[in-house]
């Protein structure tokens, strides 16, 4: 840090003076918008391949549809047979 001959010189070059000067030049209205993409902390999960997804679905026990009685990956809410019957009506 340089040595100044006068106290006024030191005050002009001090960090607090530069902060005050920058605050006086701040805009009167600030427009700040939220970011478009937000990421949480930590590392993300690795996306599963189609093979891994198929293996995961195969190991899950099937649901029994209350409407058609089939055991599979659907229930009464999303039964294809019920939807086909409703389309015919």
β-bridge mates for residue 71, sequence order: 64
d(CA 34, CA 69) in angstroms, rounded, equals 50
1 — pLDDT class (breaks 50, 70, 90): low
Angle at the Cα of 42 (from 40 to 47), degrees rounded to 5? 90
- Spatial contact of 74 and 58, defined as CB atoms under 8 Å apart: no
Q: What is the pLDDT of residues 33-82, one digit of tens each?
A: 888 888 778 888 899 999 999 998 888 788 888 888 888 888 888 888 88
- Spatial contact of 15 and 23, defined as CB atoms under 8 Å apart: no
């Amino acid at each position: 840090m340089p040595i100044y001959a006068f106290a006024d010189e030191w005050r002009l070059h001090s960090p607090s003076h530069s902060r005050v000067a920058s605050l006086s030049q701040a805009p009167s209205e600030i427009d700040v918008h939220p970011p478009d993409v937000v990421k949480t902390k930590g590392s993300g999960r690795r996306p599963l391949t189609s093979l891994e997804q198929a293996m995961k679905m195969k190991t899950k026990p099937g649901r029994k549809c209350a409407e058609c009685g089939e055991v599979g990956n659907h229930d009464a809410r999303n039964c294809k047979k019920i939807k086909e019957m409703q389309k015919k009506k």
